[in-house]
Structure 1
């Protein structure tokens, strides 16, 4: 198993902040991922700034569009 998959395995069911191409931030709860590092998030929302967000619900983010992942604060 690759290092990336091990990290994601340890983050399952935790709230994450994910930066995708275009410098967009998406926060959500990691429910799954696959071999291409596509991720399934629930309760996802796009964060536009500290006071504005947009609810997205359950989404899949393509692994090749992800630039950074961390556990949300």
Structure 2
């Protein structure tokens, strides 16, 4: 199974995206392209803070992603 096929299966579902530099975002996967650029909605920045920071709709550049987890 190809990575794009896996993303297609999780379209419109909540995913966790780990970024280079240690940031993590959790949101609903609304769209993606062949470069793994992602559009997330209802996004929260997840981290060591006790309360996640809300970011709303977010465009994540594919070359900054370490991994994507459903």
User: TM-score, structure 2 length as denominator?
Assistant: 0.92
Query: How large is the Cα RMSD of the aligned pairs?
Result: 1.3
Q: Which residue of 1 aligns with 2:69?
A: 70
Q: Secondary structure at the match of 2:47?
A: strand
- For normalisation by structure 1, the TM-score amounts to 0.89
Gaps of 5+ in 2: none
Q: How many residues align?
A: 70
Does 45-54 or 8-17 show the bigger shift? 45-54
Mapped to 1, the partners of 2:32 and 2:7 lie a distance apart of: 8
**Which residue in the other structure is 1:3 paired with?**
2
Alpha-carbon distance in structure 1 between the residues aligned to 2:8 and 2:49:
29
